[in-house]
Structures are given as C-alpha cells and as structure tokens.
Amino acid sequence: MARHERPGRVPDAVVLKYYAYKATKAVEFYRPVMYLYFLSQGLSFTQIAVLEAVYNVTTVLGEVPTGYVGDRVGRRNSLLIGTGLITVTLVGIGLSGSFVGLLGLYVCWSMGYNFRSGSEDAWLYDTLTDDLSEGQFSRVRGRGESVSLLTGVVAAVVGGYLGSQDLSYPFFVAAGVTALGLPALLSLSEPDTYEATDRDDLSLRRTLGIVRDVVTNHRIRAFIVYYYVLLAAVLYLVFMFVQPIFETVVVDLGAPPARVESLLGWYYAAISLVGAGISYYTGAIKSRIGLRRWFLVLPFAVGAALVGMYVAPVLALPVLLLARGVADTTKALASQYINDRIESVGRATVLSAMAMVSGVTVIPFQLGSGVASDVSSPLLALAVAGVVLIAGSLAVVAWEVPVASDGPASELG
C-alpha cells in the first residue's frame, strides 16, 4: 500500500515541549573533556576502546528488548526510564576512579540510551502522524537537534572551563541538566496513533518477526548495510578521537599544552554551532538535495576526508568541525527513510534494531582503532576506517542501489 505525504499542521505546542526535552540532553558539558578524563584516570587508548565496545555490546543486547518495552508500556515512559538511568550514570562516572567501575557504568549508560533511542523517534513520528504531518518529521527532528546543539554551544564552553578546574565537574553538571528532562517528558502525552495500535497483542515473538521482515525487505536491506553498518559506524568512530587529535594538532601549531582543555571547550562549542546550523536545515536538505543524492555522495566524501586528515593533519580541524552536524543530519534523514517504510506497530523496536545493527558493526572498528592508535596514532586509525568506508560503500552500490528514488515512499507490504 502506498504512503503519500499528506499536508498537515505540525502540533506547535507539543513540538515546543519536544524541543524543551531536546535542550536537556547535556552531552556537550562533558564531551570536550571526556576522553581526557579517562586518560587522566590512567586508561590507555585500548582500554577506552574497550569501554566503547562494552557500550556497544550492551546496545546490541539491549536495543530490541528496550524497544519492545517502549512499544508495550509507552514511548514516553521508555524515555523517562532512559533519562533517569543516564542521570544516575553521569554522577557515577564523575565519582569513578577505576577501569572496572567505568565498565559497569558504561553498561548502565548504554541501557539509558537504549531506552531513549528508538522510542524518541517513534514518539515524534507518531505524534506528527496524529496531525497528518509525518512528512515534516525530518524538519522537526532536525530543528530539535538544532535546539540541542545550540544549547550545547554554551554547555561546551562551560564544560571546557569546568574541565580545566577538575575533569570530573562537567559530568556532575551534565547530570543535573539531564535530570531536567524528566519534568519536560512528564508534560508530554502518548500520540493517538500509538494508543490506537493493538500493542496488547504485541508479543515478543511477533515483535521479532516485524524486525526480521524489515531487515530482510528488499526495499530497505541495502540501505541498512550502507548506512547503519558502514557510515554510521565510521561517523561514531570519528567522535572517539576528536580530543586526542585536536590536542596533537593544536600543540603542533604552537598552543600551550595547559590551554588544551579550555580550547577544546571553545572548539566543541564551534562544533555544536555548526552542527545546529546544518541540523536546522535537515528538512531543506531532504526537499532540495534529496535523500538519494545525499546518501550516495556522503560516504565517499567522509572516507576521502578521513584519509586526507592523515596526509595533512591540519585538515582535521575543519573536518572534525563538520562531522557532528553531518552525522546528526544524516541520522535524522535515515530515520525518516526507515519510518516512512514501517507501520506504527513495533515502530520503537524496529528503530532500536537499526541502532543495534550499528552497535554490532562499530565494535570491530572500535577495537581495531584502539589498537592502531596505541601502535601508531588516531589519525592512522581514522584513515583506515575511511578506506574501509569507501570500499564497503562501493561494494553495496555494486550489489544494490541502497536508496530508493526520491518520491512517495512505499510501506512494507
């Protein structure tokens, strides 16, 4: 059955509350100093990579069950659970002083994001569907991400300053801001589209069947490999190495090592500002450039940029500046592409399963890059990832065009 985008009015009051929730995500407080904090605790690059791998193993094991919970008990309730877990975990990370303790906290951290990952987009898409505005999903989600990133501009500067005083302080402040998401979420309600589904009959077996049908469907399978297996995994990997690469490059350019933390705060503020600008125009990118052209060009541009950074390290500063905005915008467009092709029943689980796919494939990237960074440098690790991205994308395109022609999307039939 064909789905055509229908004109509708976006529910402004509800969307504003969604934007308020997005403003509490608080990651920029600790992101400028997170890996420096871990290094200051005596961790090696390999141990940091293990932490990230544990995070993604937990994602793999937890995404479908937490998505199922979101489909059964409500997407808002799932978001509340996730936000509470993240708040507690951030406090724990700020207090932790051991690799073993951080391993346990990373499991909890991943579970928190598991509860939020699929449920957030599922809630938004169904809410827009209530008012016949699902075609506006990319625009609303992109602008929500823009709000989050604009908040992050200030948060990054504050986090960099706090980190120069004590590298644990940004985690405590981030926990407090994240906790503000709880009242924001309590002001939201479940969409009518979700309430009208037959979720009482949504058994785990039926849910897994829905996920299987999506993953194997010929309209979606190549896109899953192309974006969730390759591009999303490599873009995730890039963020692991922003701090050590930035430190290496700016010190080589003459910056005093004692100023690295505060400079990182300003740099992350710039990353958030650029990302907010790109994310704000997600809807325009969808309508003017088109999903097909965007996804067919981007992996090759990203791969070439990562190789270029290794040849000329100074290129890392502009490349890493753009990477965040490109990643967030692409994630929103990918979510629109998948959402347009699935039903409301099991939506949160399907979207969580997409995150799970990415979580599985990023693990070997992380472990390999950690070892390569300890042996050589993070720049070499990202260059190798860029080559893999280009080669893998070429292989997928040779197998099957991963993105359908722009136009009315077809649901699973």
161-211 tens-digit pLDDT: 888 889 999 999 999 999 999 999 998 887 776 666 655 555 556 556 666
Going by C-beta distance under 8 Å and a sequence separation of 6 or more, which residues neighbour residue 347?
Answer: 71, 118, 122, 125, 126, 339
As a whole number of angstroms, the distance between CA 329 and CA 303 comes to 17
* Residue written as token pair 């990182």: 264
**Mean pLDDT, to the nearest integer, of 39-56?**
85
pLDDT at 206: 59
- φ, ψ of residue 2 in degrees (nearest 5): -80, 140
pLDDT at 336: 82
The pLDDT tens digits for 79-93 are 999 999 999 999 999
pLDDT band at 383 (very low <50, low <70, confident <90, very high): very high
As a whole number of angstroms, the distance between CA 231 and CA 399 comes to 17
pLDDT at 387: 95
Tokens of 10: 């976006």
pLDDT at 2: 37
For residue 277, is pLDDT > 90?
no
The pLDDT tens digits for 283-313 are 888 888 988 999 999 999 999 999 999 999 9
pLDDT at 106: 93
**DSSP calls for 236-304:** HHHHHTHHHHHHHHHHHTT--GGGHHHHHHHHHHHHHHHHHHHHHTHHHIIIII-HHHHHHHHHHHHHH
Domains and CATH numbers, the chain: 12-399 (1.20.1250.20)
pLDDT at 4: 42
Angle, alpha carbons 74-78-83 (nearest 5°):
150
Mean pLDDT of the chain: 82
Going by C-beta distance under 8 Å and a sequence separation of 6 or more, which residues neighbour residue 304?
Answer: 386, 390
| Whether 341 contacts 411, CB under 8 Å | yes
| Whether 393 contacts 230, CB under 8 Å | yes
pLDDT at 142: 84
Closest by CA to 136, choosing from 147, 124, 146, is 124
Tokens of 193: 């589209």
| Whether 224 contacts 350, CB under 8 Å | no
As a whole number of angstroms, the distance between CA 289 and CA 255 comes to 39
Share of the chain above pLDDT 70, in %: 85
pLDDT at 309: 94
- Which ranges in 131-241 belong to alpha helices (H)? 137-165, 169-179, 181-186, 192-195, 204-216, 221-223, 232-240
As a whole number of angstroms, the distance between CA 228 and CA 22 comes to 23
End-to-end CA distance of the chain: 7
**Mean pLDDT, to the nearest integer, of 98-103?**
90
As a whole number of angstroms, the distance between CA 274 and CA 45 comes to 28
| Whether 93 contacts 188, CB under 8 Å | no
For residue 331, is pLDDT > 90?
no
Q: How far is CA 196 from CA 191, 192, 347, in A?
A: 9, 6, 13
Tokens of 77: 């309730």
| Whether 15 contacts 140, CB under 8 Å | yes
pLDDT at 240: 79
